[in-house]
Amino acid sequence: MRTHVGIIGAGPAGLVLAHLLQRAGIESVVLESQTRPYIEERVRAGVLEQGTVDLLNELGLGERMMRQGLMHYGVELRFGGRGHRIDFADLTGGKGVMIYAQHEVIKDLVAARLAAGGEILFEAKDVSVGGFEGERPVIRFTQNGEPMELHCDFIAGCDGFHGVCRGAIPDGVLKAYEREYPFGWLGILAEAPPASHELIYANHERGFALMSMRSPKISRLYLQCEPDEDLNKWPDARIWEEMQKRFATMDGFSLTEGPVIQKGVTGMRSFVVEPMQFGRLFLAGDSAHIVPPTGAKGLNLAVADVRVLASGLKEFYASGKRDLLNKYSEICLRRVWKVQRFSWWMTSLLHKFGADSAFDRRRQLAELDYVTSSRAAMTTLAENYVGLPLE
Protein backbone atom coordinates (compact mmCIF):
# COMPACT_ATOMS: atom_id res chain seq x y z
CA MET A 1 0.00 0.00 0.00
CA ARG A 2 1.16 3.53 -0.67
CA THR A 3 -0.05 6.98 0.36
CA HIS A 4 1.31 10.49 0.93
CA VAL A 5 0.91 10.63 4.72
CA GLY A 6 0.55 7.61 7.01
CA ILE A 7 -1.34 8.67 10.13
CA ILE A 8 -1.14 6.47 13.22
CA GLY A 9 -4.07 6.91 15.61
CA ALA A 10 -7.72 7.88 15.05
CA GLY A 11 -7.98 10.29 17.99
CA PRO A 12 -8.67 14.00 17.57
CA ALA A 13 -5.13 14.66 16.25
CA GLY A 14 -5.12 11.90 13.60
CA LEU A 15 -8.67 12.44 12.36
CA VAL A 16 -8.51 16.24 12.16
CA LEU A 17 -5.19 15.91 10.30
CA ALA A 18 -6.77 13.49 7.82
CA HIS A 19 -9.57 16.00 7.14
CA LEU A 20 -7.18 18.96 6.78
CA LEU A 21 -5.06 16.98 4.30
CA GLN A 22 -8.09 15.80 2.36
CA ARG A 23 -9.21 19.43 1.95
CA ALA A 24 -5.75 20.23 0.56
CA GLY A 25 -5.90 17.30 -1.87
CA ILE A 26 -3.23 15.31 0.01
CA GLU A 27 -3.85 11.57 0.42
CA SER A 28 -3.57 9.87 3.78
CA VAL A 29 -4.40 6.56 5.45
CA VAL A 30 -5.31 6.41 9.15
CA LEU A 31 -4.35 3.31 11.16
CA GLU A 32 -6.14 2.70 14.46
CA SER A 33 -5.43 -0.19 16.81
CA GLN A 34 -8.94 -0.21 18.36
CA THR A 35 -12.36 -0.92 16.87
CA ARG A 36 -14.66 1.83 15.65
CA PRO A 37 -17.25 1.34 18.48
CA TYR A 38 -14.45 1.47 21.07
CA ILE A 39 -13.10 4.86 19.99
CA GLU A 40 -16.63 6.22 19.51
CA GLU A 41 -17.63 5.41 23.10
CA ARG A 42 -14.42 6.26 25.00
CA VAL A 43 -15.36 8.99 27.52
CA ARG A 44 -12.67 11.70 27.73
CA ALA A 45 -12.57 15.46 27.23
CA GLY A 46 -15.54 17.73 26.67
CA VAL A 47 -14.49 21.37 26.29
CA LEU A 48 -13.69 22.74 22.82
CA GLU A 49 -11.88 26.06 22.48
CA GLN A 50 -13.34 28.70 20.19
CA GLY A 51 -10.61 28.01 17.60
CA THR A 52 -11.39 24.26 17.58
CA VAL A 53 -15.11 25.00 17.14
CA ASP A 54 -14.38 27.41 14.27
CA LEU A 55 -12.10 24.88 12.56
CA LEU A 56 -14.65 22.05 12.77
CA ASN A 57 -17.26 24.37 11.24
CA GLU A 58 -14.86 25.52 8.53
CA LEU A 59 -14.23 21.87 7.61
CA GLY A 60 -17.98 21.22 7.43
CA LEU A 61 -17.79 18.89 10.45
CA GLY A 62 -19.64 20.97 13.02
CA GLU A 63 -23.29 20.50 12.12
CA ARG A 64 -24.19 18.09 14.97
CA MET A 65 -21.91 19.93 17.41
CA MET A 66 -23.75 23.22 16.71
CA ARG A 67 -27.11 21.47 17.23
CA GLN A 68 -26.29 19.38 20.29
CA GLY A 69 -23.33 21.14 21.92
CA LEU A 70 -23.70 23.85 24.56
CA MET A 71 -21.88 27.13 23.89
CA HIS A 72 -20.62 28.69 27.13
CA TYR A 73 -19.44 32.25 27.58
CA GLY A 74 -18.19 32.04 31.15
CA VAL A 75 -17.19 29.80 34.07
CA GLU A 76 -17.58 30.12 37.82
CA LEU A 77 -14.72 29.96 40.31
CA ARG A 78 -16.11 28.99 43.72
CA PHE A 79 -14.24 29.40 47.02
CA GLY A 80 -15.03 30.48 50.55
CA GLY A 81 -18.68 29.50 49.95
CA ARG A 82 -19.15 32.06 47.15
CA GLY A 83 -19.21 31.91 43.37
CA HIS A 84 -17.43 34.38 41.07
CA ARG A 85 -18.20 34.39 37.33
CA ILE A 86 -15.46 34.94 34.75
CA ASP A 87 -17.23 36.47 31.74
CA PHE A 88 -15.36 35.19 28.67
CA ALA A 89 -17.44 37.05 26.10
CA ASP A 90 -16.90 40.41 27.80
CA LEU A 91 -13.17 39.81 28.43
CA THR A 92 -12.22 38.30 25.04
CA GLY A 93 -14.37 40.16 22.54
CA GLY A 94 -17.19 37.64 22.30
CA LYS A 95 -15.34 34.32 22.44
CA GLY A 96 -16.50 31.22 24.32
CA VAL A 97 -16.09 27.44 24.55
CA MET A 98 -18.29 24.58 23.33
CA ILE A 99 -19.32 21.77 25.67
CA TYR A 100 -19.43 18.75 23.37
CA ALA A 101 -17.97 15.36 24.33
CA GLN A 102 -14.75 14.17 22.67
CA HIS A 103 -16.35 10.85 21.64
CA GLU A 104 -19.11 12.77 19.84
CA VAL A 105 -16.40 14.72 17.96
CA ILE A 106 -14.79 11.39 17.08
CA LYS A 107 -18.12 10.02 15.77
CA ASP A 108 -18.55 13.08 13.53
CA LEU A 109 -14.97 12.92 12.22
CA VAL A 110 -15.07 9.17 11.51
CA ALA A 111 -18.46 9.34 9.76
CA ALA A 112 -17.40 12.28 7.54
CA ARG A 113 -14.07 10.65 6.69
CA LEU A 114 -15.68 7.36 5.63
CA ALA A 115 -18.51 9.14 3.76
CA ALA A 116 -15.89 11.03 1.72
CA GLY A 117 -14.19 7.75 0.77
CA GLY A 118 -11.21 8.31 3.10
CA GLU A 119 -9.48 5.32 4.66
CA ILE A 120 -9.37 4.40 8.34
CA LEU A 121 -7.96 0.93 9.00
CA PHE A 122 -9.41 -0.17 12.35
CA GLU A 123 -7.87 -2.95 14.45
CA ALA A 124 -4.44 -2.44 12.91
CA LYS A 125 -2.22 -4.47 15.27
CA ASP A 126 1.54 -4.73 15.94
CA VAL A 127 2.15 -1.31 14.36
CA SER A 128 5.80 -0.32 13.89
CA VAL A 129 7.44 2.53 12.00
CA GLY A 130 10.72 2.65 10.08
CA GLY A 131 12.60 4.39 7.30
CA PHE A 132 11.72 7.88 8.55
CA GLU A 133 15.36 8.87 9.09
CA GLY A 134 15.72 8.70 5.31
CA GLU A 135 13.37 9.34 2.41
CA ARG A 136 11.27 6.15 2.52
CA PRO A 137 9.12 5.86 5.62
CA VAL A 138 7.17 2.65 6.08
CA ILE A 139 4.53 1.55 8.57
CA ARG A 140 4.28 -2.19 9.22
CA PHE A 141 1.23 -3.72 10.88
CA THR A 142 -1.05 -6.72 10.84
CA GLN A 143 -4.73 -6.76 10.04
CA ASN A 144 -6.84 -9.90 10.47
CA GLY A 145 -3.55 -11.72 11.12
CA GLU A 146 -2.09 -10.64 7.74
CA PRO A 147 1.22 -8.70 7.72
CA MET A 148 0.87 -5.40 5.82
CA GLU A 149 3.12 -2.49 4.81
CA LEU A 150 2.10 1.10 4.17
CA HIS A 151 4.73 3.12 2.31
CA CYS A 152 4.42 6.88 2.59
CA ASP A 153 6.29 10.21 2.29
CA PHE A 154 5.69 11.19 5.93
CA ILE A 155 4.45 9.56 9.13
CA ALA A 156 2.22 11.45 11.58
CA GLY A 157 2.52 9.94 15.06
CA CYS A 158 -0.95 10.77 16.43
CA ASP A 159 -1.03 7.63 18.58
CA GLY A 160 -1.47 9.16 22.02
CA PHE A 161 0.70 8.89 25.11
CA HIS A 162 1.00 5.08 24.99
CA GLY A 163 1.58 4.80 21.24
CA VAL A 164 4.65 3.49 19.41
CA CYS A 165 5.89 6.54 17.50
CA ARG A 166 7.59 8.49 20.28
CA GLY A 167 9.49 5.37 21.36
CA ALA A 168 10.64 4.70 17.77
CA ILE A 169 12.79 7.84 17.71
CA PRO A 170 16.43 6.88 18.40
CA ASP A 171 17.75 7.26 21.95
CA GLY A 172 19.28 10.62 22.77
CA VAL A 173 17.19 12.64 20.27
CA LEU A 174 14.26 13.54 22.53
CA LYS A 175 14.35 15.31 25.84
CA ALA A 176 11.37 14.78 28.15
CA TYR A 177 10.10 17.35 30.66
CA GLU A 178 7.72 15.97 33.24
CA ARG A 179 5.77 16.78 36.40
CA GLU A 180 3.52 14.36 38.29
CA TYR A 181 0.89 15.72 40.67
CA PRO A 182 0.19 14.14 44.06
CA PHE A 183 -3.52 13.67 43.27
CA GLY A 184 -5.96 12.40 40.65
CA TRP A 185 -9.57 13.07 39.63
CA LEU A 186 -12.46 10.77 40.40
CA GLY A 187 -14.89 11.48 37.55
CA ILE A 188 -18.54 10.47 37.15
CA LEU A 189 -21.22 10.80 34.50
CA ALA A 190 -24.64 11.07 36.12
CA GLU A 191 -28.19 11.13 34.83
CA ALA A 192 -28.88 14.40 36.60
CA PRO A 193 -29.56 17.84 35.12
CA PRO A 194 -26.55 20.13 35.79
CA ALA A 195 -27.23 22.39 38.78
CA SER A 196 -25.72 25.36 36.94
CA HIS A 197 -25.73 26.17 33.24
CA GLU A 198 -21.97 26.93 33.30
CA LEU A 199 -18.96 24.98 34.63
CA ILE A 200 -18.07 25.45 38.30
CA TYR A 201 -14.45 25.08 39.44
CA ALA A 202 -14.47 24.74 43.24
CA ASN A 203 -11.50 25.25 45.54
CA HIS A 204 -12.43 23.74 48.90
CA GLU A 205 -10.39 22.84 51.96
CA ARG A 206 -11.43 19.18 51.39
CA GLY A 207 -10.01 19.35 47.85
CA PHE A 208 -10.89 20.49 44.33
CA ALA A 209 -14.17 19.70 42.56
CA LEU A 210 -15.49 20.45 39.07
CA MET A 211 -19.06 20.50 37.86
CA SER A 212 -19.38 20.11 34.12
CA MET A 213 -22.02 18.61 31.85
CA ARG A 214 -22.59 16.63 28.67
CA SER A 215 -26.15 17.74 27.96
CA PRO A 216 -29.04 19.47 29.75
CA LYS A 217 -29.81 16.05 31.32
CA ILE A 218 -26.33 14.61 31.99
CA SER A 219 -23.82 15.99 34.51
CA ARG A 220 -20.08 15.31 34.42
CA LEU A 221 -18.53 15.80 37.86
CA TYR A 222 -15.02 15.40 39.24
CA LEU A 223 -13.50 15.23 42.73
CA GLN A 224 -9.84 15.56 43.64
CA CYS A 225 -8.73 12.18 45.03
CA GLU A 226 -5.58 10.10 45.57
CA PRO A 227 -3.73 9.27 42.32
CA ASP A 228 -4.36 5.54 42.94
CA GLU A 229 -7.80 5.97 44.56
CA ASP A 230 -9.72 2.71 45.01
CA LEU A 231 -13.14 3.16 43.35
CA ASN A 232 -14.58 0.38 45.55
CA LYS A 233 -14.37 2.81 48.46
CA TRP A 234 -16.61 5.23 46.62
CA PRO A 235 -20.21 4.00 46.46
CA ASP A 236 -22.46 6.53 44.73
CA ALA A 237 -23.90 7.87 48.00
CA ARG A 238 -20.42 8.75 49.27
CA ILE A 239 -19.54 10.50 46.01
CA TRP A 240 -22.66 12.67 46.15
CA GLU A 241 -22.11 13.47 49.83
CA GLU A 242 -18.55 14.61 49.14
CA MET A 243 -19.57 16.59 46.05
CA GLN A 244 -22.29 18.42 47.99
CA LYS A 245 -19.74 19.44 50.64
CA ARG A 246 -17.24 20.77 48.12
CA PHE A 247 -19.77 22.79 46.12
CA ALA A 248 -21.71 24.14 49.16
CA THR A 249 -22.27 27.91 49.26
CA MET A 250 -23.40 30.41 51.89
CA ASP A 251 -26.74 30.67 50.09
CA GLY A 252 -27.58 26.95 50.10
CA PHE A 253 -26.48 25.69 46.65
CA SER A 254 -27.24 22.03 46.08
CA LEU A 255 -26.27 19.67 43.23
CA THR A 256 -29.02 17.75 41.49
CA GLU A 257 -28.35 14.05 42.19
CA GLY A 258 -29.15 11.10 39.93
CA PRO A 259 -27.97 7.60 38.88
CA VAL A 260 -24.20 7.37 38.23
CA ILE A 261 -23.72 5.83 34.77
CA GLN A 262 -19.92 5.88 34.54
CA LYS A 263 -17.06 6.21 37.05
CA GLY A 264 -13.27 6.39 36.71
CA VAL A 265 -10.02 7.76 38.15
CA THR A 266 -7.65 9.85 36.00
CA GLY A 267 -4.05 10.57 36.95
CA MET A 268 -2.62 14.08 36.53
CA ARG A 269 0.64 14.87 34.85
CA SER A 270 2.39 17.46 32.73
CA PHE A 271 4.70 16.04 30.06
CA VAL A 272 6.45 17.42 26.96
CA VAL A 273 9.06 15.96 24.61
CA GLU A 274 11.31 18.14 22.52
CA PRO A 275 11.65 18.17 19.57
CA MET A 276 8.32 16.91 18.20
CA GLN A 277 9.87 15.66 14.95
CA PHE A 278 12.66 13.48 13.65
CA GLY A 279 13.35 13.02 9.96
CA ARG A 280 10.02 12.30 8.30
CA LEU A 281 8.23 11.36 11.54
CA PHE A 282 6.13 14.05 13.26
CA LEU A 283 4.57 13.66 16.73
CA ALA A 284 1.25 15.42 17.38
CA GLY A 285 -1.13 15.61 20.35
CA ASP A 286 -0.75 13.33 23.38
CA SER A 287 2.12 11.41 21.76
CA ALA A 288 4.24 14.53 22.33
CA HIS A 289 2.65 16.14 25.39
CA ILE A 290 0.15 15.67 28.22
CA VAL A 291 -1.51 18.38 30.26
CA PRO A 292 -3.42 18.00 33.53
CA PRO A 293 -7.14 18.29 32.62
CA THR A 294 -7.85 21.37 34.80
CA GLY A 295 -7.42 23.76 31.87
CA ALA A 296 -9.46 21.52 29.47
CA LYS A 297 -6.69 21.69 26.91
CA GLY A 298 -5.62 18.16 25.83
CA LEU A 299 -7.89 17.78 22.81
CA ASN A 300 -7.47 21.41 21.76
CA LEU A 301 -3.70 21.20 21.85
CA ALA A 302 -3.81 18.07 19.67
CA VAL A 303 -5.90 19.96 17.11
CA ALA A 304 -3.55 22.98 17.20
CA ASP A 305 -0.52 20.74 16.48
CA VAL A 306 -2.05 19.16 13.39
CA ARG A 307 -3.06 22.53 12.00
CA VAL A 308 0.63 23.44 11.95
CA LEU A 309 1.57 20.05 10.50
CA ALA A 310 -1.08 20.28 7.78
CA SER A 311 0.20 23.74 6.75
CA GLY A 312 3.74 22.37 6.47
CA LEU A 313 2.62 19.38 4.40
CA LYS A 314 0.52 21.64 2.18
CA GLU A 315 3.54 23.83 1.51
CA PHE A 316 5.66 20.75 0.73
CA TYR A 317 3.20 19.23 -1.74
CA ALA A 318 2.55 22.61 -3.41
CA SER A 319 6.16 23.75 -3.80
CA GLY A 320 8.54 21.04 -2.60
CA LYS A 321 9.72 23.41 0.13
CA ARG A 322 10.25 22.16 3.67
CA ASP A 323 10.59 25.51 5.46
CA LEU A 324 7.41 25.11 7.51
CA LEU A 325 7.89 21.38 8.08
CA ASN A 326 11.39 22.02 9.40
CA LYS A 327 9.93 24.51 11.89
CA TYR A 328 7.00 22.28 12.92
CA SER A 329 8.35 21.48 16.36
CA GLU A 330 9.53 25.01 17.08
CA ILE A 331 6.15 26.54 16.12
CA CYS A 332 4.13 23.97 18.09
CA LEU A 333 6.29 24.06 21.21
CA ARG A 334 5.85 27.82 21.72
CA ARG A 335 2.11 27.25 22.10
CA VAL A 336 2.49 23.90 23.89
CA TRP A 337 4.53 25.51 26.66
CA LYS A 338 2.07 28.38 27.09
CA VAL A 339 -0.75 25.85 27.39
CA GLN A 340 1.35 23.76 29.81
CA ARG A 341 1.87 26.87 31.92
CA PHE A 342 -1.85 27.65 31.98
CA SER A 343 -2.84 24.05 32.83
CA TRP A 344 -0.24 23.90 35.61
CA TRP A 345 -1.39 27.29 36.93
CA MET A 346 -5.10 26.33 37.01
CA THR A 347 -4.13 23.07 38.73
CA SER A 348 -1.98 24.88 41.34
CA LEU A 349 -4.64 27.51 41.95
CA LEU A 350 -7.50 25.11 42.57
CA HIS A 351 -6.17 21.91 44.19
CA LYS A 352 -5.23 21.03 47.72
CA PHE A 353 -1.58 20.01 47.87
CA GLY A 354 -0.75 17.41 50.52
CA ALA A 355 2.09 19.34 52.11
CA ASP A 356 0.32 22.72 51.98
CA SER A 357 1.25 24.94 54.86
CA ALA A 358 -1.19 27.42 56.35
CA PHE A 359 0.86 30.06 54.54
CA ASP A 360 0.33 28.37 51.15
CA ARG A 361 -3.40 28.06 51.75
CA ARG A 362 -3.72 31.78 52.55
CA ARG A 363 -1.65 32.61 49.46
CA GLN A 364 -3.91 30.44 47.28
CA LEU A 365 -7.04 32.16 48.61
CA ALA A 366 -5.43 35.58 48.04
CA GLU A 367 -4.67 34.60 44.44
CA LEU A 368 -8.28 33.46 43.88
CA ASP A 369 -9.47 36.74 45.36
CA TYR A 370 -7.15 38.63 42.98
CA VAL A 371 -8.11 36.54 39.93
CA THR A 372 -11.81 37.19 40.54
CA SER A 373 -11.51 40.90 41.29
CA SER A 374 -8.88 42.28 38.88
CA ARG A 375 -10.03 42.71 35.27
CA ALA A 376 -6.43 42.17 34.10
CA ALA A 377 -6.21 38.84 35.96
CA MET A 378 -9.65 37.72 34.77
CA THR A 379 -8.66 38.56 31.18
CA THR A 380 -5.54 36.41 31.50
CA LEU A 381 -7.64 33.45 32.60
CA ALA A 382 -10.34 34.05 29.99
CA GLU A 383 -8.04 34.42 26.97
CA ASN A 384 -6.17 31.23 27.86
CA TYR A 385 -9.36 29.28 28.56
CA VAL A 386 -11.06 30.15 25.25
CA GLY A 387 -7.75 29.39 23.52
CA LEU A 388 -4.66 31.35 22.57
CA PRO A 389 -4.43 32.34 18.91
CA LEU A 390 -2.52 30.12 16.49
CA GLU A 391 0.59 31.70 15.03
Ligand X SMILES: Cc1cc2nc3c(=O)[nH]c(=O)nc-3n(C[C@H](O)[C@H](O)[C@H](O)COP(=O)(O)OP(=O)(O)OC[C@H]3O[C@@H](n4cnc5c(N)ncnc54)[C@H](O)[C@@H]3O)c2cc1C
Q: According to CB under 6 A, which residues from 145 to 204 bind ligand X?
A: 158-160, 163-164
Piece of the chain touching ligand X by CB under 6 A; list 31-39, 59-67, 72-80, 89-97: 31-39
DSSP 170: P
- ω into 275 cis (within 30 of 0): yes
- Angle at which helix 328-350 crosses helix 298-319, to 10 degrees, equals 170
Task: Please pick, among 12, 19, 72, 181, the residue that the annotation labels catalytic.
Answer: 72
Asked if 293 is an active-site residue, the reply is yes
Using CB under 6 A, pick the residue from 39, 112, 189, 309 that binds ligand X.
39
Q: Shortest approach of ligand X to residue 343 CB, angstroms? A: 9
Using CB under 6 A, pick the residue from 28, 102, 340, 347 that binds ligand X.
102
How far is 171 from 354, CA to CA, in rounded Å? 36
Q: Which residues contact 106 (CB under 8 A, 6 or more apart)?
A: 10, 11, 12, 15, 39, 40, 42
In this structure, the chain runs to a length of: 391
Q: In this complex, which beta carbon is closest to ligand X, that of residue 304 or of residue 325?
A: 304
Q: Shortest approach of ligand X to residue 165 CB, angstroms? A: 8
Task: Please pick, among 73, 100, 181, 201, the residue that the annotation labels catalytic.
Answer: 201
Asked if 72 is an active-site residue, the reply is yes
3-state secondary structure of 269: strand
How far is 125 from 232, CA to CA, in rounded Å? 33
Residue 304 binds ligand X, judged by CB under 6 A = no
Helices marked H in the chain — which ranges? 12-23, 36-41, 50-58, 63-68, 88-92, 102-115, 165-168, 236-247, 298-319, 323-326, 328-350, 358-371, 375-385
Residue 32 binds ligand X, judged by CB under 6 A = yes
Asked if 275 is an active-site residue, the reply is no
Q: How far is CA 185 from CA 71, 210, 320, in A?
A: 24, 9, 47
Task: Please pick, among 222, 293, 328, 351, the residue that the annotation labels catalytic.
Answer: 293
Residue 65 binds ligand X, judged by CB under 6 A = no
| 160 alpha carbon, distance to own chain's centre | 11
Asked if 385 is an active-site residue, the reply is yes
Q: Shortest approach of ligand X to residue 50 CB, angstroms? A: 14
Task: Please pick, among 19, 103, 204, 297, the residue that the annotation labels catalytic.
Answer: 297
Residue 302 binds ligand X, judged by CB under 6 A = yes
Q: Shortest approach of ligand X to residue 297 CB, angstroms? A: 5
Asked if 351 is an active-site residue, the reply is no
User: What is the set of active-site residues?
Assistant: 72, 201, 293, 297, 385
